[in-house]
Amino acid sequence: MQTASKIFVIAGPSGSGKSTLLKRLFAEYPDTFGFSVSHTTRAPRAGEVNGKDYHFVAKDVMEREVADGKFIESATFSGNMYGTSVKAVEDVVETGKVCMLDIDMQGVQAVKKTNLNPRYICIRPPSLEILEQRLRGRGTEKEEGVLARLEAATRELEYAEQPGVFDRIIVNDDLEAAYKSLKEAIFTQ
As annotated, the active-site residues are 45, 138, 149
Residue from 34, 83, 118, 125 in contact with ligand 5GP (CB under 6 A): 83
Query: Does the footprint of ligand 5GP cover residue 116 (CB under 6 A)?
Result: no
- Chain-centroid distance of CA 57 in Å reads 18
How far is the first Cα of the chain from the last one, in angstroms, to the nearest whole number? 8
77 binds ligand 5GP (CB under 6 A): yes
Q: Contact, 87 vs 70, CB < 8 A?
A: yes
Listed residue (119, 92, 168, 124) closest to 21, CA to CA: 124
Q: If binding is defined by CB under 6 A, does position 70 make contact with ligand 5GP? A: no
Phi/psi at 5 (5° precision): -160, 165
Q: Bridge-partner residues for 73, per DSSP? A: 84
Least separation in angstroms between CB 73 and ligand 5GP: 6
Binding window for ligand 5GP (CB under 6 A); candidates: 104-112, 158-166, 169-177, 178-186: 104-112
Tell me how many residues contact ligand 5GP (CB under 6 A): 14
Among 82, 120, 166, 179, binds ligand 5GP (CB under 6 A): 82
Containing 179, the helix (H) or strand (E) segment is: helix 175-186
Of 57-65, 74-82, 130-138, 180-188, which part binds ligand 5GP (CB under 6 A)? 74-82
Cα–Cα distance for residue pair 85/164, rounded to 1 Å: 25
Residue ranges binding ligand 5GP (CB under 6 A): 14, 38, 42, 73, 75, 77, 82-84, 102-104, 106-107
